[in-house]
Amino acid sequence: MLEETQPAPVRLPFGKVKLQVPRHPLRRVMKSSPLVGTAVLELAPLPLHQQIQRFGDRARSAGYSQVKILPLFLLPGVHVMEDIPAELAIAQNALGESIHLSLCAHLGSHPRLKTLLTLSAKTPPEVAKVLISHGSRRPGGNQPVEAIAQHLRAAPAYWSVPPSLESQVAALVEMGHEAIAILPYFLFSGGITDAIARYVPHLAQRFPHTHLYLENPIGSNAELADIAVELLLP
């Protein structure tokens, strides 16, 4: 059991890659101010299909004939490939044919998303890297993480499925690495990123001669918003 008094993990001293200015600033891409809403799949008073249906009613009353839904998920797991389409179908059936619900590709499918991570060029070559994601049990669901990890020359790890963060750190220590950067592949801070932060001191105790650095998740920024707009536009 981890103690609350354990020291916080050391943060990376190298900093994140400087994000490029969006190719099309949002004020130019969005030529008007469309109706925008949010909905959540879990931990909401209403199921997702009812949230979508309510927004669809609002959009229809405002004169719209189509609603685009952008899943803010990084991986093509069960939620993206099964749960959300099923909820969308229920909402569409309830709304009828007067307004069309269109499901966009999930956020993690955009190729520019990897520019939001700490890139190899900003990490000294002597520092090994572990890219940790939530992970998916769906076949092929973790392939994007593995591809990005390969691009970053990092070892992929997952919070919910193997290989675990601890096993990947142990493997890098066994290879002789004395400094390891842990890169969370998450959009925002939350319960899992907090759990990772609490877990890193445990790893530091197990590997006392290895320096462990924990970076922040991607976070909200103009580049992320620009990517979302590109996925929403035709």
- What are the domain boundaries of the chain? 10-17+118-214, 26-108+223-232
CATH architecture group of domain 10-17+118-214: 3-Layer(aba) Sandwich (3.40)
Encode pLDDT of 150-170 as tens digits: 988 899 999 999 999 999 999
With bands split at pLDDT 50, 70 and 90, how would you rate the model's confidence at 96? Answer: very high
Encode pLDDT of 66-78 as tens digits: 999 999 999 998 9
Q: What share of the chain is helix, strand, coil (3-state, %, to 5)?
A: 40, 15, 45
DSSP string of 202-226, one letter each residue: HHHHHSTTSEEEE-------HHHHH
pLDDT of residue 82: 95
What proportion of the chain, given as a percentage, has pLDDT over 70?
84
Range name among 77-91, 166-180, 219-233 with the lowest pLDDT average? 219-233
And the tokens for 31?
């030529």
